[in-house]
Amino acid sequence: MTPAHGVHLIAELDGCERMPDLVAMQALLTAAAAAGHARLLTVELHAFGGTGGIAGVALLAESHISVHTWPEYGYAAVDVFMCGPAADPEAALAVLVEGLAARTVRTERLTRSAGSSA
């Protein structure tokens, strides 16, 4: 059996009651990385003007957390990919769900591995 290299969570958050600005989103991604026991390397964010959302990524030593928000729909697409024995992507996602105050969360969990070397 090939060992897993990481866990990749792909989540859709609906009914989000909070849509943070850039400063709050950076803090939220930083908190998510800490909850997931990941080492944060950098956060890059872009706000789309007016009532537009935010697109961003937290680059981790263990991989990444990305988020894209659509305030007009109360929707966020989140991607959490973490590698390593201490990583806890579910905890990182929980921070984002709480921070965005999502009413509904749909998650797909993928185990990433290199496959057989045979």
CB 100 within 8 A of CB 77: no
Q: What confidence score (pLDDT) does residue 118 get?
A: 44
Q: Residue 2 pLDDT > 60, yes or no?
A: no
Cα–Cα nearest to 48, from 78, 25, 64, 15: 25
CATH placement of domain 6-112: 3.60.90.10
CB 80 within 8 A of CB 9: yes
CA–CA distance from 26 to each of 1, 21, 43, 55, 72 (Å)?
38, 9, 7, 11, 20
Cα–Cα distance, 9 to 35 (Å, whole number): 15
Q: What confidence score (pLDDT) does residue 14 get?
A: 98
The residue-averaged pLDDT of 98-117 equals 87
Catalytic residues: 63, 68, 83
Whether the model clears a pTM of 0.85, i.e. scores above it, the answer is yes
Q: What confidence score (pLDDT) does residue 116 get?
A: 47
* H helix count then E strand count, the chain: 2, 6
Q: What confidence score (pLDDT) does residue 51 get?
A: 81
The predicted-structure confidence for 35-70, as pLDDT tens digits, reads as follows 999 999 999 999 998 888 999 999 999 999 999 999
Cα–Cα distance, 55 to 48 (Å, whole number): 8
The predicted-structure confidence for 83-95, as pLDDT tens digits, reads as follows 999 999 999 999 9
Q: What are the domain boundaries of the chain?
A: 6-112
Cα–Cα distance, 18 to 42 (Å, whole number): 23
| Residue 49 neighbours by CB under 8 Å, 6+ apart | none
Q: Residue 102 pLDDT > 80, yes or no?
A: yes
